[in-house]
Structure 1
Amino acid sequence: MKRALRTALKTSALKFPAVLFIPALAIPALLFASTMRAADAPVVVTSIKPIHSLVAAIMQGVGEPELIVDGAASPHTYNLRPSNARALQEAKVIFWTGPGLEAFLEKPLQALGPKATIAELDKAPGLVKLPFREGGAFEPHDDGDGDDHDHAGETGHDDDHDHDHGHEHGVFDTHLWLDPMNAKAMAAEITTTLVAADPANALTYQANAKTLDEKLTALDKEIATTVAPVKKKPFVVFHDAYQYFEHRYGIRVAGSITVSPETIPGAERVSEIHRKVGELGATCVFAEPQFEPRLVKVVIEGTSARSGVLDPEAATLTPGPDLYFTLMRGIAESMKACLSSA
């Protein structure tokens, strides 16, 4: 009988994994250690997907930032949700581009984020800032200063525009991230901000930032190679969001259907662009995922131009550290595909 019992116990021990025999007192200790590791990460909130991607790349190994403008939403038309307000209240660090692009955040940040470090990335040192274009094939943009400018054919960087514009809405084009060199400048500011807010993880942030900077350098060279065969072919875009991409890679945008996507152009404006597509010899007209593709069909009707899709704000992409690279490659590859076949 005793021999049979000993045999049964030995057999049972072989059937069950050793983890089940961890002393009960060790389990709370393991759970506590896991909780402490999660608590080490500061609560970081970001405004839009491209900024979220840069922050996520720098925070890898520490934590994941939260995103406000998710899915296919656009910062041009976004309304803050209660969950967004709660995230802002709990945040230790908040990253946004600035009121020129994310006007919906300006007042909530003042009211909901007083205890957080708020980094306005359109003030990052080293940014190239380009003024809104007006005249030519581009719709006039009223920036409130009463001056008339024509920047549609600008090349090179005017240092007069590379400075802090504060909260002067509309003084410069806010799609800053569409130049990888601007992404580098933003990443440097993100790193500085995170290190100051969370010095315990400074080495991780700095190591990640170095890797990100090297990847952005490689991306810049890759995009230049991708668009080189088609960069002299003119095309029209839905809204004037691509100036930094054009400026960096020397590509030729003939005009835009509208400057501000929140304002749908009238019939007269659409007819004007339709005429100019023919006059300028535009080979492609690009829509955007979250805006009216029907307008593009009207614009190219009866012309030899083709239609394509560009996604400057990553509306169709999944958030994460790789999103920025997918976004930029997608723009370059879409341009090449449409313009090569035109």
Structure 2
Amino acid sequence: MKSSSALLFASTILLSSPVAAAGPNVVASIKPVHSLVASIMQGVGEPSLIVEGAASPHTYNMKPSNAAALQAAKVVFWVGPGLEAFLDKPLDALSGGAKVVELSEAPGLEKLKFREGGAFEAHDHDDEGHGEEGHKHAEGEAEHDDAAAPEAAAADDHDHAHEGHDHEGFDMHLWLDPQNARAMAAEIEKTLTEADPDNAGAYKANLEKLNQRLDALDKSLVATVAPVKDKPFVVFHDAYQYFEHRYQVRVAGSITVSPEVLPGADRLSQIHAKIKELGATCVFAEPQFEPKLINVVIEGTPAKSGTLDPEAATLDAGPDLYFQLMEGIGTSLKTCLASAS
């Protein structure tokens, strides 16, 4: 009798407890986008990820499993053809009735014009704001245009300068500013609510939590890079303009314009000379690409080497990845630049 009563009581509790409706099939292109989507979908479902592991969207080839995921999707999130060019035709051919959301078109994004050269001119931050104060200008305009005025690129690189970048001339690494992540997250929440109104409350609550985390991340990064923000450094490819712009760090140049194109001897010589000229203290590799090039350009200079991971190649996918990615960039910059002379 007790067993029957207990079973009846348990059944009553289960029936009266709120249960989230099953979420829609959602696909995200790259890890940073997937992380934001996963944050909004917590408690409802898990999005699928196309570019997994250490793969890069710049060099990715579609797999049959990716095609199957797109065919089954109700919603697909990507940055846009300027970054994930490999997805452009498959989305047209395979996504069927799915809602395809190009997050580079999300309202409220700040877009910076992409820089065509690898070695940027020296620039002065003395008359610019820092941190949150330095992030107050119109959409699509870069405040420090002097940094964005590149020297002529080596011919073999310049021909391919626009590969992996927005065809309208905007840098597509938009997520490397937490304020842009907020704008992308808002678009993700709006889209999921329209596609799945039964879980609208969960999506809204998750967006509020995510925005609180993004605010805390932004303040933390300001403090992390403050001691080293005036030390110039060189990166593997020009993927960090949004981080540079937000936190006023000094990117002196990049080894290659686009990671699909290996730099030639002229470019390496140019960057080597720029490291000496500007006194660049660190040169940063990326996990997906050839690290030996870093040793070539720092040979004979006091510069040290480090690693930055703008696309989260070394991180496990999930809601926390975006924060690990951004904190990792800040910590790597501080560690290498603080240790350099």
Q: 2:322 aligned with 1:340, yes or no?
A: no
Q: 1:54 — aligned with what?
A: 36
Corresponding residue of 2:239: 241
Tell me the SS of whatever aligns to 2:253: strand
Q: Deviations over 1:93-122 (max 9, x none)?
A: 000000000000011101111210111000
Deviations 1:31-70 (A, max 9, x none): xx9xxx7982210000000000000000000000000000
> Does structure 1 retain, via aligned residues, the 8 Å contact 2:75–2:100?
yes
Decide whether the 8 Å contact of 1:135 with 1:152 is kept in 2: no
1:101 is matched with which residue? 83
Structure 1 distance, partners of 2:255, 2:203, is: 41
Q: Is the 8 A contact 1:239 1:261 kept in 2?
A: yes
Cα offset for 1:272? Answer: 1.1
Q: Which residue of 2 aligns with 1:297?
A: 295
Aligned residue among 213, 216, 239 for 1:215: 213
Other-structure match for 2:24: 42
1:135: how far off? 4.8
Determine whether 1:159 maps to 2:138: yes
Q: Offset at 1:152?
A: 7.8
Does the residue aligned with 1:264 lie in a helix, a strand or coil?
A: coil
TM-score (norm. length: structure 1): 0.82
Q: What are the superposed Cα offsets for residues 305-338 of structure 1, whole Å, 9 maximum, x if unpaired?
A: 0000000000000000000000000000000000
State the one-letter code of the partner of 1:111. A
Partner of 1:8: none
Counterpart residue number, 2:51: 69
Larger radius of gyration: 1
Give the counterpart letter for 1:56 in structure 2: A
What is the number of residues matched between the two proteins?
299
How far apart are residue 134 of structure 1 and its match? 3.6
Displacement of 1:159 after TM fit?
A: 2.6
Answering whether residue 137 of structure 2 is matched by residue 116 of structure 1, we say no
Distance 1:136 1:197 in 2: 42
**Percent of aligned pairs sharing the same letter:** 68
Letter in 1 for 2:29: S
Query: Which one is further off, 106-115 or 312-321?
Result: 106-115
Task: Verify: 1:179 aligned to 2:161, yes or no.
Answer: no
| Contact map agreement 2:118 2:257 (CA 8 A) in 1 | no
Q: Counterpart amino acid of 1:80?
A: M
Counterpart code for 2:106 = A
SS of the residue corresponding to residue 137 of structure 1 reads: coil
Deviation at 1:153, TM superposition (A): 7.6
Task: Look up the equivalent residue of 2:292 and give its one-letter code.
Answer: R
Q: Assess, with a 3 A threshold, how the Cα gap between structure 1 residues 112 and 39 changes in structure 2: closer, same or farther.
A: farther
Counterpart selection for 2:63 from 81, 91, 105? 81
* Match 1:273 to one of 261, 271, 274: 271
1:287 maps onto 2:266 in alignment? no
C-alpha distance in structure 1 between counterparts of 2:281 and 2:305, whole Å: 9
The alignment partner of 1:257 has SS state of strand
Supply the AA of the counterpart residue of 1:161: G
**Cα RMSD (Å):** 2.5
Q: Structure 2 unaligned runs (5+)?
A: 129-134, 142-164
Contact 1:234 1:281 in 2 (8 A): yes
Paired amino acid for 1:107: K
- Aligned partner of 2:160 in structure 1 is none
Q: In structure 2, the residue corresponding to 1:253 is in which secondary structure?
A: strand
**For structure 1, which runs of at least 5 residues remain unmatched after alignment?**
1-17, 139-149
